[in-house]
Structure 1
Amino acid sequence: MNRCAALIPAAGVGARFGANLPKQYMPILDKPVLRHTADKLLACERLDTVLIIVSANDAYIDTVYPPNRLPEKLHILRCGGETRAHTVYQGICAAKQQGLLNDDDWLLVHDAARCCLPNAALTRLLDTAVNHSVGGLLAIPVSDTLKRDNGADCVADTVSRARLWQAQTPQMFRTAMLHQALAAANLETITDESSAIEALGLSPLLVLGDVRNIKLTQAQDAVLAELFLRLPF
C-alpha cells in the first residue's frame, strides 16, 4: 500500500504580506494561518505523516504546536533554508535521516499560506496523481487576460492564455524523485516542486484545483481567506 506524507515549508518571513510577524503565524478567525493549513492535512486519513519545516531560530512554532502536545502524526523539523526550495530539500533530507520518509512514499508539498485547501481538491489529487508515473499538482486554467509589461509599467503585448494553468499546491511526487530533482536543481531559481521535476525532463500531471485554494501573499488576501474558512468544504 502506498504511504503518503505531507510537507509544509514554513520558514519564510512573508515580506510582501507586510505584517509584523511571518504570515504563516498571522491569526485568522482566532487561529494562526499555519494551524488552519496543517489541520486540514492532519484531518486527511490518507496522509500518514505531516511534516512542518521551520527555520532553526523560529520563535513562534512552539506557541502554535507546543512540543509536548503535538498531534500523533505531526512532526516539526527545524532545518528550513533561505528559500522555499532550500526548505523543502533540507526538510526531505532531515526526514529521511530520521526515518520519517521512505524513498517510495508519496510526498505532498503544500504552501503554509494556503489555508483554504478544499477537501475535495485534496482528494482529487490523491486519487489521480497516485496512478500517474510522475505525480502531479493542483492547478487551475488561467481565465484572466494576461498582459506583459514593457519594463516601465506599460503594456508591451497580450499573452495568449491558451493551455496556461496557474499552479497551486499540494504538489505530489515520490520522495526519491523529488529529492533527486531538488538535489540536481539550482535551488535559487526553483519556485515550486513541479519545476524541479520538469527539469529532469518529466511531465507532471495537472489536476484540477479550486479557486478557493488561494495563497496569502498580500494583506488583502486575508479577507478572502476568512470568508472561505467560514464556509464548510
Structure 2
Amino acid sequence: MTLAAESIAVVLPAAGKSRRFGGDRKKIFSLLDDRMVWEHAVARLRERPEVGRIVIAIDPDDADLWEGVCSAPVARHRVELVAGGDERVESVRRALATLGEAEWIAVHDAARPLVRDEDLARLFAAAEASEAAILATPLRGTVKREGAESRIAATVDRRGLWEALTPQLFRGSLLRDAYARWRGFPVTDDAQLVERAGAAVRLVVGSPTNLKITVADDLAIAAALLAAERQGRASKGRASNGPASNGQPGR
C-alpha cells in the first residue's frame, strides 16, 4: 500500500532569524545553484505525488521578500504562506491551524534543501505502517560532553544515538493532539511533542547529506553535494544511453 495522492500536507517553519548564519540575508533566502535554499526544499517535496498542500510559516518582517522576489516560486510550487511565531513550535502550530483535518502532516525544515527522494519514499512507507516516523541518521563520530572551561567532562557512548532530520511525518490527528497538549515547555522538534503525548515514533534511516543550513560554510557544502548529485545523474544518463549489448548504438 502507498499513501494516497496529495494526502500529505507539509509545514515548513521559516520564521527563524538566522543569527548563526551571518551575512546580509537569511539562510533560507541564500542562493544555492541559482535558487533560494527554501525553494530547493519545497521543490523536492513537490515532486512526490503524495504531497498536496505546502504551508510555509514566515517571519512577518520578511513579508516584502515573500511578496516580491519569492512570489514567482511561491506560485509555481503552489505554496501557501502564514505568519509564523517567535519560536518554531508556535510557527508550526499556526500553520497547523490552516490545515484543518489533513490526514497526514509532515514538518520539514526550510533550510534543508537536499532531502533525497528515496528517503522520502521510505519515510512515507514507514509512517503509513506506524502513524509517526522521522528521518534520522545514526551518530558516527565520537561524542564528548563539555564540562567547565570547555574541557571534556565525559565521552558519551554513541550506541543507539541518532541525529533527528526532517521531514517528520505524522498522522494528522496524532500531531494535532500533541500540539493541543503543549504547555509551553521547550521543544526542539515535532517528534518530541508526539513522544510526550505517548505515541511511538519510528526512526527511518536518512542520508547525512540531508544537512540543515545553519552557518555560512554549510552553504558551500550543500553546493558541493548538489554538484555531486548532478554529476551522478549525468553519469547514469550516459550509461543508459551508451552502446547496447549487441554493439548497436544506444537509443
The TM-score, its normalising length taken from structure 1, stands at 0.90
Q: Which runs of 5+ in 1 are unaligned?
A: 97-101
Q: Conserved in 1, the CA contact under 8 Å of 2:137 and 2:162?
A: yes
**Residue in structure 2 matched with residue 13 of structure 1 by the alignment:** 17
Report how far residue 72 of structure 1 moved: 6.2
Give, in whole Å, the separation in 1 of the partners of 2:40 and 2:19: 20
Does 2:133 correspond to 1:129? no
> Which 4+ runs in 1 deviate beyond 4 A?
none
**Residue in structure 1 matched with residue 34 of structure 2 by the alignment:** 30
Does 2:149 correspond to 1:148? no
**Residue in structure 2 matched with residue 82 of structure 1 by the alignment:** 86
**Residue in structure 1 matched with residue 112 of structure 2 by the alignment:** 114
Q: Conserved in 1, the CA contact under 8 Å of 2:115 and 2:210?
A: yes
Give, in whole Å, the separation in 2 of the partners of 1:152 and 1:60: 42
Q: Conserved in 1, the CA contact under 8 Å of 2:54 and 2:79?
A: yes
Q: Conserved in 1, the CA contact under 8 Å of 2:137 and 2:205?
A: yes
Report how far residue 50 of structure 1 moved: 1.4
Give, in whole Å, the separation in 2 of the partners of 1:68 and 1:145: 41
Change (3 A) 1:69 1:87: closer
Report how far residue 49 of structure 1 moved: 1.6
Change (3 A) 1:69 1:219: closer
Q: Conserved in 2, the CA contact under 8 Å of 1:86 and 1:187?
A: no
Deviates more, 1:65-74 or 1:41-50: 65-74
Q: Conserved in 1, the CA contact under 8 Å of 2:27 and 2:111?
A: yes
* Post-superposition CA distance 1:88-147 (Å, at most 9, x none): 011101332xxxxx25x1111000000011111111101121111x31100011111100
| Equivalent residue in structure 2 for 1:54, among 32, 54, 58 | 58
| Equivalent residue in structure 2 for 1:94, among 80, 94, 98 | 98
Q: Conserved in 2, the CA contact under 8 Å of 1:8 and 1:53?
A: yes
Identity rate, percent = 29
Change (3 A) 1:212 1:67: closer
* Post-superposition CA distance 1:132-180 (Å, at most 9, x none): 1x31100011111100011321000101111111100000012222122
**Residue in structure 2 matched with residue 215 of structure 1 by the alignment:** 212
**Residue in structure 2 matched with residue 99 of structure 1 by the alignment:** none
What letter corresponds to residue 121 of structure 2 in structure 1? Answer: T
What letter corresponds to residue 17 of structure 2 in structure 1? Answer: V
Instruction: Work out which of the two has the higher radius of gyration on C-alpha atoms and give 1 or 2.
Output: 2
Q: Which runs of 5+ in 2 are unaligned?
A: 234-251
Q: Conserved in 2, the CA contact under 8 Å of 1:145 and 1:161?
A: yes
**Pairwise CA RMSD:** 1.9
The TM-score, its normalising length taken from structure 2, stands at 0.84
Does 2:210 correspond to 1:182? no
Give, in whole Å, the separation in 2 of the partners of 1:33 and 1:45: 22
What letter corresponds to residue 104 of structure 2 in structure 1? Answer: W
Give, in whole Å, the separation in 1 of the partners of 2:183 and 2:20: 23
Give, in whole Å, the separation in 1 of the partners of 2:108 and 2:9: 11
What letter corresponds to residue 139 of structure 1 in structure 2? Answer: A
Q: Conserved in 2, the CA contact under 8 Å of 1:17 and 1:23?
A: yes
